[in-house]
Every structure is written in structure tokens, then in C-alpha cells.
Chain A
């Protein structure tokens, strides 16, 4: 009986040792995973944003803005310019809609918002002109 127990224990120790060895490897890999260099998505997006601006792809910018805003209602670090440009474009679009709807009060609300955003655009002020031009050209 004890002999059998000894044999079973020996087998269990060997199996547990092998499993433990793999667990240690897994632990090392998990530590490396936890400390991996994560690419900053804002940094990556900055290049995409510039490319889209270069091609006047404000529709794409609007798409990016709406997708990002599903997670962050206010802009996260690195996305401030995207939010400003897209919010200006949205305001300009809504001014057009409210004028069509004959809702001067709401149009004026969006107008004030658009003015405020235009003043904050800084180096991207030209985007406001481009958006106005595209909306006016419809």
C-alpha cells in the first residue's frame, strides 16, 4: 500500500514539476507582456489625422471623431485637435440644418459654438474655411 502511495506521489511530483516549469515560463512571458512597449494610439493617430487633413477628408475625420467619442466624451490627451476640428465641422453642418429647418435660435447656438471653436483651432484654422467651403458647395 505504502509502496503504491510512494509511486503515485513520485508520478504526481514529476507531473507537477513539469506543469510548474511551464507556469514559470508563462509567468515570465506575462511579465514581459505587462511591461511591453505599448504604442500610444494618439501618437499613431496624429499621422493619420495629418494625412486626412492633407486630403481634405473631413468625412473620415468626422467618422474618427464619432468613434472616439463613443469612449471619451471629452477629448483625451493627443486628440484635442481632432475634437476641435470635428466639432467645428459638426457645428457648421448643424447651422446649415437649423437654417433649413428655420430654427434661428438653435442656429445661433451652433453659430456661437462654431465661432468659439474657430478661435481655438490655432494652426488648424484653415480647416474651418475648408469645411465652410465644402458645406457651402453642397
Chain B
């Protein structure tokens, strides 16, 4: 027979195994205590089982089932192990790169030293480029120099004109202002060489002990004389400026006069000389100058 109990609150009768009155909900203390003790016993048994399970299963599988204190302790242990591993890795890397910075710095300093010493050495070895300075000067004073050049041509000072152009780097690198002189300049250059060589031949040393370069001078003169005649023909017909054409013709006249005076020839003899080949010219001039 089931034992019953009367509720102290509502007077209803109910089974003694119930913890609360099914009608008013009032707790029945002895049953409630018994239930509480049963639950405590269950927890204790669960804990016991869990501990046994933990000792036999891998940590990660039991982690979800263990209480937070145990979980925290496990996390701390795991963190400790990871920290130690990282520390070891960091120390190993630090040891492996130890001194690399210094070495790189030394290399950079050496490379900079090489570059600086090479640049300074090159500057010390380089001689000043006077031609470059003259070219810059010619570009800066082109207009004034063109006026001077015109002055030389007006006075008929053709050798001075050519020397002036060479000295100021205007012969080979003429600025824009000197384009108008191009044709007269070509003729003047050949004229200059001819006059220069005639002066050298006429004023050569009469000392028999002194070096005799007459044959070389004659050969060069014949070469430049041929060059003068060819240039004259080409530039005479191409020159449109009357002033410069007059200069070209004047150079031709002057060179003929110089040959007449230097080689004791008349105009007919000069024309004959000009019609000859270079070798014939040389032989003829040699005969005249050496009185052969």
C-alpha cells in the first residue's frame, strides 16, 4: 500500500514520493531533501566517472565535459607549451640572423667607398677640356665672332680669318650665325694651307746642316693646291652672296700671285702648273725651288 501525506497548506492528499503538492505546489521538505541528496550523489558519481575517463582518453575529447577550472588549467598548460615553443623558435631565428645587419652595413660602406674613390680618381685623371670651353664660348659670342670674321674677310686677311675660326672652334662646330660663311670658309681653308706651306718653303732654313723638310712641304702643297682648285670650282658656282663670291675670287687671284712670286713663274706657267698631275706639280716646284 502506497503511503500518502496531507498538504499542510491546502489539505489535499498526495503520494509521499512527490516533492511538492500537485494542487498548490507547496514543497514537502523530507522529499525535497532526499531529491537534493540524490542529485548530489549523481554529480559526485558523474565527476568520478569523468575523472576516470580523463585519465584514459585524449585531452581534447574530454575538454568539453570537464568543469571550467580544469579546462582553464589545461589551457594554461597548453599556452605554456606553445609559449616555450615560440620562444625557442624566436631565439633560434635571432641566433641565425645575428650579425647580418652589421655585415650588410659594412658592405654598403665599402660600396660607397668604391664609388666615391672612383669618382674622385676620375676627376683627378681628367684633364680640363679646353675645346669644350671654346665651343661654349663660341656659342655664347657667336654674333660678335661673326662680325669679327666678316672684318677679316673685308680686309682680305684670309689666313687670319681661318686661324680665327680654328682658335674659336668655329671651323668644325659653326653656330647658326656662321652658316653664311660655309662656302667661303671651305675655299679659305684650302687657301690657308697653300699659303702656309708656301711661306714654310720660301722661308726654309738655308743651313745645309739643318733638317730639310722641303720635299714633304712640296708634296703637301701640291695636295692642297689640287684641293683648292676643286673646292674653288664647286663653291664659286654655288656661292650666291656677291660679297663672299668676291672673296673667293680674290683668294684665287692671290694664290696665283703667290705662286708667281714664290716659284718665279708668269701666269702662263702657273696655269700650266695647275693643269699638271700632283706628281708633275711636285717635280716642277722642286726644280724651281732647288734650282735643279
Which A residues fall within an 8 A CB radius of B? 2-3, 5-6, 9-10, 12-13, 16-17, 19-20, 23-24, 26-27, 29-31, 33-34, 52, 55-63, 66, 69-73, 89-90, 93, 96-101, 103, 106, 109, 131, 134-135, 138
Residues B100 and A6 in contact, CB atoms below 8 Å apart: yes
- Please give, as numbers and ranges, the residues of chain A lying within 8 Å of B196 by CB-CB distance: 62-63, 66
15 residue pairs of the A-B complex, CB under 8 angstroms, read A2-B96, A9-B100, A23-B121, A27-B117, A58-B205, A59-B203, A60-B200, A63-B196, A63-B200, A89-B203, A98-B257, A101-B257, A106-B156, A134-B206, A138-B261
Q: A27-B121, A62-B196 are in contact. Are A71 and B167 (CB under 8 A)?
A: yes
| Distance A19 CA – B110 CA, assembled complex (angstroms) | 9
Residues B207 and A55 in contact, CB atoms below 8 Å apart: yes
Nearest CB of B to A56, in Å: 5
Instruction: From B16-24, B41-49, B78-86, B158-166, give the one contacting chain A.
Output: B158-166
What 9 A-B pairs come out closest when comparing CB atoms?
A: A30-B124, A58-B203, A101-B257, A57-B205, A73-B167, A59-B204, A16-B110, A23-B117, A59-B200
Nearest CB of A to B64, in Å: 42
Residues A9 and B107 in contact, CB atoms below 8 Å apart: yes
- Please give, as numbers and ranges, the residues of chain A lying within 8 Å of B207 by CB-CB distance: 55-57
| Distance A34 CA – B121 CA, assembled complex (angstroms) | 9
- Please give, as numbers and ranges, the residues of chain A lying within 8 Å of B201 by CB-CB distance: 59
Residues A62 and B96 in contact, CB atoms below 8 Å apart: no
- Please give, as numbers and ranges, the residues of chain B lying within 8 Å of A55 by CB-CB distance: 205, 207, 209-210
Nearest CB of A to B90, in Å: 14
| Distance A56 CA – B203 CA, assembled complex (angstroms) | 8
Q: A23-B118, A66-B163, A73-B163 are in contact. Are A109 and B155 (CB under 8 A)?
A: yes
- Please give, as numbers and ranges, the residues of chain B lying within 8 Å of A57 by CB-CB distance: 204-205, 207, 210-211
User: Which of A16, A27, A89, A97 is close to B258, meaning CB atoms less than 8 Å apart?
Assistant: A97
Nearest CB of B to A112, in Å: 12
User: Which of B96, B125, B167 is close to A30, meaning CB atoms less than 8 Å apart?
Assistant: B125
- Please give, as numbers and ranges, the residues of chain A lying within 8 Å of B269 by CB-CB distance: none
- Please give, as numbers and ranges, the residues of chain A lying within 8 Å of B29 by CB-CB distance: none
User: Which of B106, B124, B168 is close to A13, meaning CB atoms less than 8 Å apart?
Assistant: B106
Residues B202 and A23 in contact, CB atoms below 8 Å apart: no
| Distance A72 CA – B166 CA, assembled complex (angstroms) | 9
The yes or no answer to B274 lying at the interface (CB within 8 A) is no
Residues of chain B at interface, number, CB under 8 A: 53
User: Which of A19, A30, A60, A62 is close to B121, meaning CB atoms less than 8 Å apart?
Assistant: A30
Which B residues fall within an 8 A CB radius of A? 96-97, 99-100, 103-104, 106-107, 110-111, 113-114, 117-118, 120-122, 124-125, 130, 155-156, 159, 163-164, 166-168, 195-196, 198-207, 209-211, 213, 217, 253-254, 257-258, 260-262, 264
- Please give, as numbers and ranges, the residues of chain B lying within 8 Å of A59 by CB-CB distance: 199-205, 213, 217
Q: A57-B210, A59-B202 are in contact. Are A2 and B110 (CB under 8 A)?
A: no
| Distance A16 CA – B109 CA, assembled complex (angstroms) | 10
Instruction: Tell me the nearest residue of chain A to B214, going by C-beta.
Output: A59
Residues A69 and B117 in contact, CB atoms below 8 Å apart: no
Nearest CB of A to B41, in Å: 63
- Please give, as numbers and ranges, the residues of chain B lying within 8 Å of A58 by CB-CB distance: 203-205
| Distance A87 CA – B211 CA, assembled complex (angstroms) | 23
Instruction: Tell me the nearest residue of chain A to B167, going by C-beta.
Output: A73
User: Which of A9, A60, A135 is close to B205, meaning CB atoms less than 8 Å apart?
Assistant: A60
Residues B166 and A56 in contact, CB atoms below 8 Å apart: no
- Please give, as numbers and ranges, the residues of chain A lying within 8 Å of B114 by CB-CB distance: 16, 19-20, 23
Given contacts A9-B100, A17-B110, 5 further A-B contacts (CB under 8 A): A23-B113, A55-B207, A55-B210, A62-B200, A70-B163
| Distance A126 CA – B120 CA, assembled complex (angstroms) | 52
**Max count, chain B CB within 10 A of own CB: residue among A9, A34, A101:** A101
- Please give, as numbers and ranges, the residues of chain B lying within 8 Å of A16 by CB-CB distance: 107, 110-111, 114
